[in-house]
A = this chain, B = another copy of it.
Amino acid sequence: MTIDSNAAQEADETDPLRSFRDRFELPEGVIYLDGNSLGALPKGVRERVAHAIGTEWGTDLIRSWNSAEWVNLPQKVGNRIARVIGAKAGTVVAADSTSVNLFKVLSAALNLNPGRRTIVSERENFPTDLYIAEGVARQLGGKHGLVLADAPQDIPALLDEDVAVLMLTHVNYRTGYRHDMAELTKAAHEKGILTIWDLAHSAGAMALDVEAAQADFAIGCGYKYLNGGPGAPAFLYVDPRHHGGFRQPLSGWFGHRVPFEFEPGYVPSGGVEQYLCGTPPVLGMVALDEALALWDEVDMDALRRKSLALAELFMREIDAFADEFGLRLVTPREADKRGSQVSYACENGYAIMQALIARGVIGDFRAPDIIRFGFTPLYLNYAEVAQAASILRAILEERAWDRPEYKVRTAVT
């Protein structure tokens, strides 16, 4: 399907996903190309959280751990995420942050592969994943080394018999490059290497099948394409063949076999629950739970087709003026090598993004020089994407970004 700006309106009219836009509360006058950083607000979340506060907490108080089943939220929400990433019920829990969950599964993976001393990842991986790997390696006494590939194609050559774990983010946060999860997992397994996939930029952005790919572990984020709200609980997946195989070190009471017996010694639950730690954050959990309700209705293949088509439309529109203004596409053009975002390297990227935001096109900037646009098929339409490209062109032609106030970096970019 090739859609140009003239055909955008027609494409919107025949879009099989068009009804989902009405499931979100979107502000007027904004084209939101940052759902890969914070997903928009699904309708129903506001009411669900209000109920959790007013009735479950305010009126029913402590009884809601049973009556509102707060105690099962990590598993209930986990099972909803499982369906989005191609996993079975009972293999995913929602808990903690992505970083904390990586700490758990990386610790587990290294302990399941004793004697091997290398963790392979990418220099361009999302930094917190690398920071956590540093933290785990240091805690384990410094005997593990972190080897970072400079480019995706360099990874297979790094997979040797000393590698314990291959830890990758499926879709790169800056470039949008998408790894072949099944192929790299297969290559890793052939060398006895366990795999951890960070699905932060893919869960909810495309059809996924962690089970078919035979991923050992996966982690991911609740607040990007899953629309769970700012700082929503994260998730983790553990292949059933590793359930019960190892005690992860964040061995808090919610991972205990019988937490409410208050036994002095830790005995892990046999299932994925042993990757839980402390008391679940109920308000964030119910928001995420409500946000996930719509996924049962989503045709994931249609979602991926629309995601690719939105990004192609955007890239084609930008092609017309990219060279003139020094925009260098860093996202692969090949559909099977990208996620659901398009990024350009350019001078003055930060100021250009501020000018875009001032005109209602919200994307983001990633240091040192990337402007990044995310395409969320559930609530974006083709006409908006064409319009966003045209606003970018106008900003570049008018040098509208060249103002002092657009060059002052805020705390969060």
Are A62 and B50 in contact (CB-based, < 8 A)? no
B97:A252 contact, CB within 8 angstroms: yes
Chain B residues near A265 (CB, 8 Å)? 130-131, 134
Complex contact A132–B65 (CB within 8 A) = no
Whether A247 contacts B62 by the Cβ 8 Å rule is no
- Whole-angstrom CA separation of A263 from B260 in the bound complex: 42
Is A392 an interface residue when CB atoms closer than 8 A count as contact?
no
Please give, as numbers and ranges, the residues of chain B lying within 8 Å of A412 by CB-CB distance.
65-66, 70-71, 260
A128 to chain B: which residues have CB within 8 Å? 252-253, 256, 278
Q: A61-B34, A281-B281 are in contact. Are A103 and B138 (CB under 8 A)?
A: no
Q: Does A362 contact B (CB under 8 A)?
A: yes
Task: Give A40 to B61 CA distance when docked, in angstroms.
Answer: 7
Find A66's partner among B251, B287, B411 (CB 8 Å cutoff). B411
Number of interface residues of A (CB under 8 A): 96
A51 to B158 alpha-carbon distance, docked (Å):
49
CB distance from A411 to the nearest CB of B (A): 5
Q: Indicate whether A231 reaches chain B with its CB closer than 8 angstroms.
A: yes
Known: A38-B61, A126-B262, A131-B251. 18 other contacts (CB 8 A): A41-B54, A46-B50, A52-B230, A62-B364, A65-B412, A71-B411, A72-B411, A130-B265, A131-B252, A132-B250, A139-B249, A231-B282, A231-B284, A260-B413, A262-B366, A262-B367, A281-B281, A284-B284
Q: Chain A interface (Cβ within 8 Å of chain B)?
A: 25, 27, 30, 32, 34, 37-38, 40-41, 45-46, 49-50, 52-54, 56-66, 70-72, 96-100, 103, 107, 123, 126-128, 130-132, 134-136, 138-141, 148, 174, 223, 229-234, 247-253, 255-256, 259-266, 277-285, 287, 357, 362, 364, 366-367, 410-413
11 example contacts (A-B, Cβ-Cβ < 8 A) are as follows: A70-B412, A71-B411, A96-B100, A97-B279, A99-B253, A127-B253, A135-B252, A229-B282, A230-B282, A231-B282, A260-B413
